[in-house]
Copies of this chain bind each other. A is one copy, B any other.
Amino acid sequence: MIKKLCCLILFVSIGIIHAQTQDEKQLKKIYDLALTKGKAYDWLNYLSNQIGGRLSGSVQAEQAITYTKAELDSLGLDRVWLQPVMVPKWVRGTPEFAYIESKPGYTSNVPICALGGSVSTPPGGVKANVIEVRELSDLDKLGKEKIQGKIVFFNRPMDPTLLNTFQAYSGAVDQRSAGAAQAGKYGAVGVIVRSMNLKLDDYPHTGSTNYGDLPEAQKIPAAAISTNGAEFLSTTLKLDPNIQFYFKLNCKQLEDVPSFNVIGEIKGSSKPEEIMVVGGHLDSWDLGDGAHDDGAGCVQSMEVLRLLKLSGYIPKRTIRVVLFMNEENGLRGGRQYASDAQAKGEKHVFALESDAGGFTPRGFSFDSSESDFATLLEWKSLFEPYMVQEFTKGGGGADIGPLKKEGMVLAGLRPDTQRYFVHHHAENDTFEHVNRRELELGAAAMTSLIYLADTYQLGSVD
């Protein structure tokens, strides 16, 4: 009996060692291909420099759909298609303009940009006194009397002591997303928000603002000011609280327009009905070329399917790349994809998103059951030679969020965060700030995770 048991243990052990060696080999193959025969960087070059910023409903967004579909078509996948989705169309119009007027005729220009979704100012702009606040709740304390007729200036910086800059972003972004709605209720005539940027520089950073259920008449124009501009305005206000601020926005919310998610798949060899998604969002803000947010995530996701094929791996499950439209100002693509999947009764078991920039990958975050997370932690050692060490619990990503069901695993690539908010939603989110190797290492890490999740059938649907 003991002999039999020993044999069994030996047999199982050899099996495990063999499998590990196989996985190690496959990961090495994936990484070598990504770093020597990668296409992600060239794709991103095209998306960034030949197309540029891809705001939902824009000509560039349409060009990006055509381009990425053509590129997916060239990969010899089993199926490539466009999934229709109606998206909001907000346009910035002619460039914004702002100045601080310390006394009549004494003006200093400051760099601003309209927040996405903002209404425009009246044609002559808005000029008013400024009240500086740090928190949304400051408005409740100040009350209508002190706010009415003024421009509210939200100036709480991101917390520099948080190591993960996404946490610092989360802790500050309520000013941008809800500031205008809140200030509008108290009769403010405009909102200026300090850019979500840990660096002091001259770039204003856009991003969505949301008026919620505010009646049309109470919607006030909202703009971001660069961090240097915010410091300048704040200092000026300390010297003289009665200075005036002028700004003019020319943006407009138009009717919804038709657009698409771009999808390609490799049909599963033994479990084609089980679907694993890998994706990023194809739309971006309009100020830069959207290289980090989220051109990087799109080309990495496309690269996952290309690397799987190139490495000769035959997936058991169906592996689908989805380039979601409209993450930035509506999430319509992610919602449409999930509702279509639901309507068709598709079984999604795993989804991975890359939407945190094309920087050196540090790990993944996972939204999964405890037992699946335990399995994931067992895989960690396979990633350690590639310096991908942080396996944490957390969300997968905005676009794949609506897909979530019991049993399913959502994952997000987690690159180094230190440089991300220098570029996020600003004019300097451009191709030259993406390092080829860092981008490729992200694609390799994602491909490796998809390979393992397919091989060991991680995730299920009840």
Q: Is A133 an interface residue (CB 8 A)?
A: no
State which of B161, B199, B387 has its C-beta within 8 Å of the C-beta of A362.
B387
Residues of B within 8 A of A199 (CB): 436
> Chain B's nearest CB lies how many Å from the CB of A247?
29
Q: Is the CB of B438 within 8 A of A418?
A: yes
Min Cβ gap A408→B in Å is: 28
CB distance from A382 to the nearest CB of B (A): 13
* Count of A interface residues, CB-CB < 8 Å: 26
**B438 touching A31 by the CB < 8 A rule?**
no
Asked whether, in the complex, the Cβ of A360 is within 8 Å of the Cβ of B161, the reply is no
Residues of chain B lying within 8 A (CB to CB) of residue A35: 160-161
A360 contact set on B, CB distance < 8 A: 360, 416, 418
Q: Which residue of B lies closest to A28 (CB)?
A: B161
Q: Does A137 touch B at the CB level, under 8 Å?
A: no
Tell which of B36, B163, B422, B438 touches A161, judged by Cβ atoms closer than 8 Å.
Answer: B36
A335 CB, min distance to chain B CBs, angstroms: 33
Complexed CA–CA distance, A386 and B390 (Å): 11
Q: Whole-angstrom distance between the alpha carbons of A390 and B385 in the complex?
A: 11
* Cα(A360)–Cα(B357), bound, Å: 15
**Is residue A441 contacting chain B, with contact meaning CB distance below 8 A?**
yes
User: Shortest beta-carbon distance, A309 to chain B, in Å?
Assistant: 19
Task: Check A77 for interface membership: any CB of B closer than 8 A.
Answer: no
Please judge, given known A-B contacts A360-B416, A362-B387, A387-B390, whether A161 and B32 are in contact too, CB under 8 Å. yes
Residues of B within 8 A of A198 (CB): 437
The CA-CA distance from A61 to B171 in the complex, in Å, is: 44
Q: Does A160 lie within 8 Å of B36, measured CB to CB?
A: yes
- Bound: A460/B132 CA distance, A: 56
How far apart are A56's CB and chain B's nearest CB, in angstroms? 30
* Interface flags, A196-210, vs B, CB<8A=1, else 0: 001100000000000
Bound complex: CA of A389 vs CA of B416, how far in Å? 13
Please state if B386 and A389 are interface contacts (CB–CB under 8 Å): no
Contact of A418 among B389, B418, B441 (CB under 8 A): B441
Among residues of B, the one whose C-beta sits closest to the C-beta of A363 is B387
In-complex Cβ contact of A163 among B160, B387, B418, B419 (8 A): B387
- Knowing that A32-B161, A36-B160, A360-B418 touch, tell me 5 more A-B residue pairs with CB under 8 angstroms: A35-B161, A163-B386, A360-B416, A418-B437, A419-B435
Q: List 20 A-B contacts (CB under 8 A).
A: A31-B161, A32-B161, A35-B160, A35-B161, A36-B161, A160-B437, A163-B385, A165-B437, A198-B437, A199-B436, A360-B360, A360-B418, A362-B387, A387-B390, A389-B389, A416-B416, A418-B435, A418-B438, A419-B435, A422-B435
